[in-house]
Structure 1
Amino acid sequence: MATLDGAWWPRSRDLAAELPELIATLSQRGFTVARVAYHRDSWDSVSGKLPIAGRVVRLGWFRTIDAHLLSLTELRSADRLDLLVIPPTSDPLLAEQAFAWIQDGHHDGRATAFLTDADTASRPSSALSGVHAGRVAENAWESEGGSYPRPNMNNGDLHEPNLAQLGS
């Protein structure tokens, strides 16, 4: 059974537009991405090589890789990082549930099955769900440049607006 190392919630299906921020965030944490493997049908068409931050990252699509998985290989060590990809159009409650489970260490199994379980668990059971969804969306907006300061990224906690805790 595979272990997910984290979760990522891109804002579009444009991998070439979404990867630079993800790769920059990982690079700041000492993981220099050399290669990215993804499911072909999950993303818009993209070239096999993507120039990012003065170097080229190789991209490879596979039909056999889980549709909700992004597998990144580190440049020097060849270590692999497997990220759950939360679809861009997902409900904020689903994303919040997936991030919470990843951060709590609940991340074994196939990415698609994990996402299905998170979706089931995130379904609201009260009238407060609309308020909660609004709070999640507002928090995501605020963390992307709104009026609140960004969290301290130097303390080991990784809580970007679209990337959950990596490694434990």
Structure 2
Amino acid sequence: MRDYTIMLLLLKTGVRALELIGIETDDIRWEDSMILILNTKGHRERLVPFQSKMRSQLKKYLSICGKCETEALFVTMDNTALSKRQLQNRISYYGERSKIKNVRCSCHTFRHTFAKMAVKHGAGIFELQQILGHTSMEMVRIYVNLYSDDVKEKHKEFSPLKYLI
């Protein structure tokens, strides 16, 4: 249950491994479906949204997990906070168990998959920059350039001339 919740959260939010293990239960803002990410690469906290399916999964996980001695959202069997190495090992384990070949199974692969799917489904570069926590647009531009194979079709939707004529 824990590992499934982790993989869903990685895929739904695009957070980094270190950010994920830094999430505490109090960082989940249920009232507006946001998670406060404090343990960021750039040392600048940010809010990351989550939707109803993730809300349900988090609630289910927390009800099964029960009250822990630590404030960490994701814990081990010993009720200690999950480490980055333990997280990476679990993701690799599931990649091997699923017999996934020619793709690196890592937390960062989930991040790239989130970005790819977000771009392909119309996420704007500013939203993507905010959610991923990039301080510059350079990395976001790389995602957009890599994954926007339908730029011509998208242009038809937002072309100013379409609305003037």
TM-score by length of 2: 0.26
TM-score by length of 1: 0.26
Identify the structure with the greater strand proportion: 1
More relative contact order in 1 or in 2 (CA 8 Å, sep 6+)?
A: 1
Identify the structure with the greater helix proportion: 2
